Amino acid sequence: MTPLQVFLFFILFSSFSKADPLQDFCVADLNFPQGLAGYPCKSLSNVTVDDFVFTGFRNPGNTSNMNMFSITPAFVAQWPAVNGLGISVVYAEMAPGGRVPVHTHPGGTELIVVIEGTIIAGFISSSNKAYTKKLEAYEAMIFPQGLLHFQVNSGSVKAKLLVSFSSPNPGVQIISTALFGNDLSSEILEEVSSIDVAEVKKLKAMFGGTN
């Protein structure tokens, strides 16, 4: 199967598994706050075919940043049609040497499909076993919900990926930013991390943390 075929199969499977037998869809009305079950539905009289089409991938993000990585998300905030369907999509690019730092998505399982380039990807299980693999074009990998995972461009050309989630809003927490970009006391962080307080302060300065 091609990367696109694998990707479309995952989208179709996820959508069918989340289907609501009481209604066909629930295009989000972003004028209201999001609740635990998602956004309220847009009035059917205002729904058009354009609600089900996303064109944002035409303009990918800039990889000229510290991680040399960009994402163009199609979560519910960018694509209201995914509301309640248990699916969302991201287009990602990594420049040579680029990386996606260790992070987690508390709200959904992730599937990546490499479209171009070569990456090293992996995740760490709750028993602290690492599962890593070199992926090339036409290959895919799944990161189970909530587990720490990462990607690194190990090739000499830009890597391009399609990424799907089993949630319209999977959330994200980057571990380095969570640890050192917060306002927790450096002395407490030293105690709970076993990292010397001087090094903690250096890392806080690097990631924008305080105290």
Which amino acids are annotated as binding site for Mn(2+), given as ranges? 103, 105, 110, 149
Q: Which amino acids are annotated as binding site, given as ranges?
A: 103, 105, 110, 149
Residue 206's H or E segment, with its range, is helix 197-207
* Of residues 116, 9, 140, 143, the one with CA closest to residue 60: 116
Count of beta carbons in the 10 Å neighbourhood of residue 16: 10
Report DSSP state, residue 25. -
Distance CA 140, CA 134 (A): 10
C-alpha distances (whole Å) from 70 to each of 52, 124, 132 are: 24, 23, 22
Query: Known binding site for oxalate: residues?
Result: 105, 110
Residue tagged 């998602």 (tokens): 38
Residue 150, amino acid? F
Q: Are the C-beta atoms of 209 and 183 separated by less than 8 Å?
A: yes
- The pair of structure tokens assigned to 63 is 């990889």
